[in-house]
Chain A
Amino acid sequence: MGRVGKQLGQARMASKGSVKQAEVVPGKGLAAAGPAVGEGSGASSDAASGPAEICLEVRSNPLYLSAARELVAAATRRLGFLEEASSQIALAVDEALCNVIRHGYDRDPHRPIWISLFPEGNGWGNGLGNRSGNGGDGVVPGSVETRFPTLMRIVIEDEAKQVDPAEIKSRDLEEVRPGGLGVHIIKSVMDEVRYERREPIGMRLTMVKIRRESVEGVENDSTSTNKPATAPMVGRNDGRACGGGGVHG
């Protein structure tokens, strides 16, 4: 990830020390979560899955779009998504960020955007924090039996002006004109897309992509030219939130 590290520039990995996680209001779930006090505090967390596995805070400068794309693509590839699916996820994230930059922040390049990745299923995201040794489908760090998640949930949050989620729609493609394709692209490549207002400020976009191989019951074999990495993952079982201290390449 060295290249991503260089390109991140002013972007920084959210860490517990410098960024407070969004609070989950008991009994109301993520939809009602608001930021903790202080700037740059919008990263997602939820009661069942815990903190996001990957959490990136980036300024709304288009120069950092490629860094966000590459991070998301690399992470999803590593978690078992094939090249095409990883590319689609990266495209959806890119389009979402573009919409925030252009429409939410009116191209102000200094505002925060949070991108949180929650792999779920097959022992991932079961809310147990340390997933090792919990039996069943649990992920055992360093084990060759590590399984890939069933799906990836991606949450993008901002502090931009709020809009009615019902107004965020794909446009009619019959008319050939520049612009207005972002929402259509996101809804075309992701399995679920949901926009909602974020309290007390900004918007939240939740996107889900199902890993087809999980559903089809056929994991990648050695003949696949686009197989994801299969080496055992080094587990992180200290229950920390976003990795502090920058990007590890």
Chain B
Amino acid sequence: MAVGLATVGGCTDPSTVVGFDEADPGARIRAIQQAGGQEDRQSLGKLIEALDSDDPAVRFLAVRALEKRTGQTFGYEHFASRSDREAAMKSWQDWFERTKS
């Protein structure tokens, strides 16, 4: 999966993605949960990246946050194997690209 999803256009507010890259698992999880209530694309991109986390709890919370924001999951199951998740993650990436305008 791509290392990071590009944000598009305009100024970005770094505060919306604070915590995603923290070493502390609790901080990462709080960031994900917070992102579920935000509306910016940067945190949306971070949530999509989190779908590829090694931590199944992070993956679960990320897809729940994405579902809360977008109403969809693209069939992503947080407990599926990586190969099974790849198709759904690709769908998310493609959707993210399509919706950048």
Binding site for B on A (CB under 8 A): 24, 26-31, 46-49, 118, 120-122, 124-127, 136-137, 147, 149-151, 153, 192, 208, 210, 214-217
Contacts and interface: CB of A to CB of B under 8 A. Distances in A.
Contacts of A216: 26, 30
10 contacts: A28-B84, A48-B79, A49-B56, A120-B57, A124-B56, A125-B79, A147-B25, A215-B29, A217-B24, A217-B27
Interface of B: 24-27, 29-30, 33, 54-58, 60-61, 64, 77-85
Contacts of A29: 77, 79-81, 84
Contact of A125 (B26, B56, B82): B56
A124 B78 CA distance: 13
A153 B79 contact: yes
Contact of A48 (B29, B30, B80): B80
A27 B25 contact: no
A-B pairs, top 3 by smallest CB distance, nearest first, are A121-B57, A47-B81, A150-B57
Most chain B beta-carbon contacts within 10 A, residue among A24, A46, A121, A151: A121
B64 A47 contact: no
Contacts of A137: 25, 55
B29 A150 contact: yes
B55 A49 contact: no
Contacts of A124: 56-57
A214 B80 contact: no
A97 to B, nearest CB: 22
A214 B60 CA distance: 14
A131 B84 CA distance: 22
Most chain A beta-carbon contacts within 10 A, residue among B24, B78, B79, B80: B79
A58 B81 CA distance: 28
Most chain A beta-carbon contacts within 10 A, residue among B58, B77, B82: B77
Nearest to A50: B79
A121 B26 CA distance: 10
Nearest to B30: A215
A126 B59 CA distance: 11
Contacts of A192: 60, 64
